[in-house]
Amino acid sequence: MERFFITGLPRSRTAWLSAVFTHPEAGCHCVHEPDLSFDFLSLPRKWANLVPAGTRFAGISAPGLHLKADELMRWYPDAPWLIVNRHVDEVATSLQALKVKVTNAELAAGNFRLFKTFRQAKKALMVDYHTLSDLGVMEAVWHTLCPGVPFDAERQKAMENIRIVNQKSEADARRLTL
């Protein structure tokens, strides 16, 4: 089973991306925000419990995933990473609409860690949040995370209509950022 990882600041469509990359017919499964408090001796067992048997490409998508990037890159050095870049002002506005108070400085610190992850990963693709609805961008992302699996443009167009509402507490937003 090949692994991949998706991360970004909170409110950067990581939940939606996990739905996009859960495509049983293509052998892809992506879990959104699993319990990230694992020790690395138990990680292979946890992977087996997170994804269905027969999965060819297994991913984790979470806004706080970059906080575990060093450990994940040691265990899965060849796994590709997708980093979604969304401007901190937009993230702050989106979080404020959910009544979550996070400062721009806190978000900027999280953004710095995202860029560090991007630089460290052997295979990484950084995309702007606003380009996720572009079919060409999503095809490039698909081929980066699930190489050799045909991109289904019609399915992708249908996925565009999905809006995932994920309400987080202030504590969750801080935990996923810093």
In this prediction the pTM is: 0.84
Summarize pLDDT for 135-176 with one digit per residue, the tens: 999 999 999 999 999 999 888 888 887 776 555 544 554 444
pLDDT per residue as tens digits for the range 49-96: 777 888 899 899 988 888 888 888 888 899 999 999 998 888 888 888
Q: What is the CATH number of the domain that holds 49?
A: 3.40.50.300
Q: State the residue range of the domain holding 44.
A: 2-177
DSSP state, residue 50: H
Cβ atoms of 177 and 26 closer than 8 Å: no
Helix, strand, coil percentages for the chain (3-state, nearest 5): 50, 15, 35
d(CA 97, CA 49): 35
SS3 76: coil
When divided into structural domains, the chain yields a total of 1
Q: Which one-letter DSSP state was computed for residue 150?
A: P
Closest CA to 60 of 39, 42, 43: 43
Give tens-digit pLDDT for 87-121. 888 888 888 888 888 777 777 777 777 788 888 88
